[in-house]
Amino acid sequence: KVLIDVPHSDLAEELAQSQTKIQVLQDTLQQVLDRREEERQSRQLLGLYLEALKNEDRILSKVAEPETVPRQEMDVVDTGTSSTGPPAKTALSDQILAALKQKPAPELCLDSQDLELVLKEDTQALASALRWDKQKAEALQQACGQELSKRLQQVQTLHSLRSTSKGKKAPP
């Protein structure tokens, strides 16, 4: 970098070379520095891309997991045979209701399927089941909606990245 910044005439005089040779030398040095910077940026971008793929795989495995594992507690609540259920009739399991009550940001603790259930639930029934006022239940549903929207956007972005990367050939 220092050799590039030195004026041609000073460097030519110091090395006892022509200014043309020094100009070629400085141009070559600048090209090497530029190439190194491009390689550094490429490695950094590749690292970010690989991290995004790992996150996509984690999100997709979490989304696929609820479909493969049957939820037995949902059957109990849905059939109404549970005598220990919440006072209001909801489609939400005791586990989801407990998370909603106990966690400071429950929308971050629930999986996407549970977020959808909370969103579909009647606000009044949710408020009654949690023993909250209607405004607090509405705020919770809004937060769950925003989190679900954010997750779906992340999945769409990752799919877009993946489809873009599949269209390009792998570097040699």
Which DSSP symbol is given to 103?
-
169 pLDDT above the threshold of 70: no
Domain count, the chain: 2
* pTM of the full structure: 0.45
**Average pLDDT in the chain:** 79
Categorize the per-residue pLDDT at 60 as very low, low, confident or very high, splitting at 50, 70 and 90.
confident
Q: What is the mean pLDDT of residues 104-122?
A: 84
Strands (E) in the chain, as ranges, are none
Evaluate whether residue 86 is within a structural domain. Answer: no
Evaluate whether residue 27 is within a structural domain. Answer: yes
Q: Which long-range contacts (CB under 8 A, 24 or more apart) does 148-152 make?
A: 148/112, 148/115, 148/116, 148/119, 151/59, 151/112, 151/115, 152/112
Query: Per-residue pLDDT tens for 65-101?
Result: 554 444 544 444 444 444 444 455 677 888 888 878 8
Look up the domain containing 43 and give its range: 8-64
Token readout for 74 is 């949902």
Is 59 in the same domain as 104? no
Angle in degrees, CA 123, 126, 130, rounded to 5: 140
